[in-house]
Amino acid sequence: MALCLRFVNKKGEPVERFLGLVQAEDTTSLTLKEAIQSLLIKYQLPLSKVCGQGYDGASNMKGHVNGLKKLIMDESPSAYYVHCFAHQLQLTLVAVAKENTGCDWFFRQLSYLLNVLGMPCKKIRMLRIAQTEYMIETLKLGEIETGQGLNQEMGLARPGDTRWGSHYRTVMHIMFLYPSIKKVLFRIGKESKGAEANGAQTMLTVFKSFEFVFLLHLMNGIFGYTNDCAVLCKRGSKIS
């Protein structure tokens, strides 16, 4: 578990510093509280002087009865709890997107796309080969640069409403893999039979449509901004 400290310096400026990582045997609130306390004691920081704390919305973290928030406030009543702003932003953004007809349609198609591509090793291998061929071709044409850390292999993970930046990563990866995904959908539709072939052909039509591509770029831009905001709030527990 990561622990960060937020405090005000002598100039009255808010400062946040990463304190360290601590091993937690499980994710129960009592275990997490003991882990946090052990790290604070290591740096001679008494829990009684904590005046604020912030986590995500999981019950073991903010539960009113046995949550980590409650256990810390039992020892330091002034440790006011604030739901992590980046996590709130993620939940709010997803909730608003679902209320928008266009965005709701896009994410439904996104889910359907991931179902069509599926998790079988054969389809994963098809996508990997298609992307390798695409990279070789673009490198020969000089359309992309080479260098350390560039052109890393990307997968397609299913986004989760409460996972930080998962929607942004999925959208970003689909944009990067777009030519390869289109090629794989065409192959599945041509080489498969029955429902699998029909599903791939239907998805290919949607995948190439203006509406899908436009919303893909729109969501990539929006999630890019919100991801930058989320980065400002580091992962893990925050103690003030």
Among candidates 224, 133, 153, 213, which has minimal Cα distance to 178? 213
Cα(102)–Cα(106) distance, integer angstroms: 6
> What long-range pairs does 223-227 form, CB within 8 A, spacing at least 24?
223/93, 223/165, 223/167, 223/168, 223/171, 223/172, 224/168, 224/172, 226/89, 226/90, 226/93, 226/168, 227/165, 227/168
Cα(15)–Cα(18) distance, integer angstroms: 10
Amino acid at 189: G
Element (H, E) at 85: helix 85-99
pLDDT in tens, the chain (240 residues): 888 888 888 998 888 888 888 888 888 888 888 888 888 888 888 888 888 887 766 677 777 777 888 888 888 888 877 776 666 777 777 778 778 888 889 988 988 888 888 766 677 777 777 777 777 777 666 665 565 544 455 567 667 655 656 778 888 888 888 888 888 888 888 888 888 889 889 999 999 999 999 999 998 888 887 777 666 554 445 555
∠ CA 168-17-45 to the nearest 5 degrees?
A: 135
The alpha carbons of the chain give a radius of gyration, in whole angstroms, of: 23
CB 199 within 8 A of CB 184: no
pTM: 0.58
CB 176 within 8 A of CB 154: yes
Amino acid at 24: A
Q: Where are the domains of the chain?
A: 2-83, 87-232
Q: Are strands 14-21 and 237-239 parallel, antiparallel or unpaired?
A: unpaired
